[in-house]
Amino acid sequence: MASMATYLFETEEHAALRQQARRFAERHIAPHGAAWEEDEEFPRALYKTAAEAGMTGIGYPEALGGSGGDLTHTLVVADELVIAGKSVGTVVGLGSHGIALPMIVRFGTPEQQRRFVVPTLRGEQIAALAITEPGGGSDVAGLTTRAVRDGDDYVITGAKTFITSGVRADLVTTAVRTGGTGHGGVSIIVIEKGTPGFTVSKQLKKTGWWASDTAELTFDECRVPVANRIGPENAAFPMIMHNFASERLALAGQCVAIAELAYRETIAYARQRQAFGKALTGFQVTRHKLADMSSKLAAARALTGEATQRVIRGEVAAALCAQAKNVATDMCSEVVDQAVQLHGGMGYMRETLVERLFRDARLYPIGGGTREIMNEIIAKVEGY
Ligand SMILES: Cc1cc2nc3c(=O)[nH]c(=O)nc-3n(C[C@H](O)[C@H](O)[C@H](O)COP(=O)(O)OP(=O)(O)OC[C@H]3O[C@@H](n4cnc5c(N)ncnc54)[C@H](O)[C@@H]3O)c2cc1C
């Protein structure tokens, strides 16, 4: 049987973390994941359970209630949660703090960290990140949600869309325009649930990721204290771009995990499914398809691991992160497509895991910066 692949950077510490994450996912996600995906929701209580099991604080400083570690640790945990939990929607919903909190950890005041980071890592609050707007997501510097200073408050008007965990979020790390046009006029402000004028205007229906909620949010003269601004005014664009680099690695890692899961499911199916008097693995074409899947997976895992290590070393790796995301998303799309194909008619049935993974995979060349925007970043760094 094919053994589970790991990242080259893994140590015994990562192996122990994998075991811990696997136990959590097998116990708390796998038995319910398929039903939660159909229900388009997982219980809010899972945030607390995950925090208590040590799943939420990985990659955060111990002083804030985290358990330390870096991107390599979050990557292996996500790997196990997806593979053992078998519900991508649950994992991404549970993990929305991973894009919402890092800017507060890096640039927030101790008071902001106490208010926003600590309770989220305890599983008591849900955090979301809101950058994308109905008028456009790729052109972040063009965002139009306006925050006008009025004494000790900002008055915020505008809308955000496609926000992961936005329906249930208690705090939304929101990109707003506090200054003039372009990237020099953008700030980050945390907007809290219950603030008058802040509404969840729509819960969106999606192709995949069903267990995670996705929202359109509206801000109608929403008054938020200046104390909720993260970092200096009009200086958020580089903060957002830095956040994107680790988000893209996390998305690449999810692609590797989804493909690994689809690949393993397909091996198991092809071994037991009979056609023309033999198992599907008895046909050379099946074995070659599986071999191609495993090769592409190995390449994407290696690149994702390398990009992660270079980011941790402090290298400027925007292009490498973009390359890793594109390679991993394309690999994942191909692997899940072949997984469906090898399942035949069963591959098209809602009861089959690879059918759901096929739908989940479609998000990755779009979310966290599209394939085309990744290529723009690569082209800019390469200088052509
Ligand atoms: C399920 C889901 C969850 C999401 N979660 C979040 C979240 O939590 N927070 C958040 O802020 N956002 C979130 N997003 C939004 C996501 O990041 C955006 O959808 C994405 O960045 C693309 O923006 P857009 O949809 O506005 O597309 P557009 O920017 O309108 O792009 C449309 C098309 O034009 C192409 N295009 C645009 N500009 C160029 C260019 N210069 N050159 C070539 N092609 C170009 C794009 O590549 C794309 O193919 C989520 C999206 C989805 C679907």
Whose CA is closest to atom 43 on ligand 1? 372
The token pair at 130 is 């809101």
Which residue matches tokens 């680790």? 246
Pocket test for ligand 1, best of 241, 366, 374 (most atoms within 8 A of CB): 366
Q: Which atom of ligand 1 is nearest to the CA of 372?
A: 47
Q: Which atom of ligand 1 is nearest to the CA of 133?
A: 26
Taking the C-alpha atoms of 86, 11, 248 and 40 in order, what is their torsion angle to the nearest 10 degrees?
20
Name every protein residue with a CB atom under 6 angstroms from any ligand 1 atom.
Answer: 128-132, 136-138, 162-164, 206, 209, 214, 363, 366-370, 372-373, 376
Centroid of ligand 1 to alpha carbon of 363 (angstroms)? 10
- Helical segments of the chain, H only: 12-28, 33-39, 45-52, 71-85, 88-94, 97-100, 102-107, 110-112, 118-121, 236-272, 284-312, 318-342, 353-361, 371-382
Centroid of ligand 1 to alpha carbon of 139 (angstroms)? 9
38: helix, strand or coil? helix
Residue 107's CB is within 10 A of a number of other CB atoms, namely 17
169: helix, strand or coil? coil
Q: Which residues carry out catalysis?
A: 247
Q: Which atom of ligand 1 is nearest to the CA of 209?
A: 1
pTM over the 0.95 mark: yes
Helix or strand (DSSP H, E) at 214: strand 214-225
Taking the C-alpha atoms of 215, 216, 221 and 226 in order, what is their torsion angle to the nearest 10 degrees?
50
Burial class (CB in 10 A: 0-12, 13-18, 19+), 258: buried
Centroid of ligand 1 to alpha carbon of 339 (angstroms)? 27
Q: Whose CA is closest to 266, among 350, 351, 364, 346?
A: 346
Contact (Cβ atoms closer than 8 angstroms) between residue 255 and residue 362: no
Per-residue pLDDT of the chain (384 residues; tens, 9 = 90+): 456 689 999 999 999 999 999 999 999 999 999 999 999 999 999 999 999 999 999 999 999 999 999 999 999 999 999 999 999 999 999 999 999 999 999 999 999 999 999 999 999 999 999 999 999 999 999 999 999 999 999 999 999 999 999 999 999 999 999 999 999 999 999 999 999 999 999 999 999 999 999 999 999 999 999 999 999 999 999 999 989 999 999 999 999 999 999 999 999 999 999 999 999 999 999 999 999 999 999 999 999 999 999 999 999 899 999 999 999 999 999 999 999 999 999 999 999 999 999 999 999 999 999 999 999 999 999 999
Centroid of ligand 1 to alpha carbon of 341 (angstroms)? 28
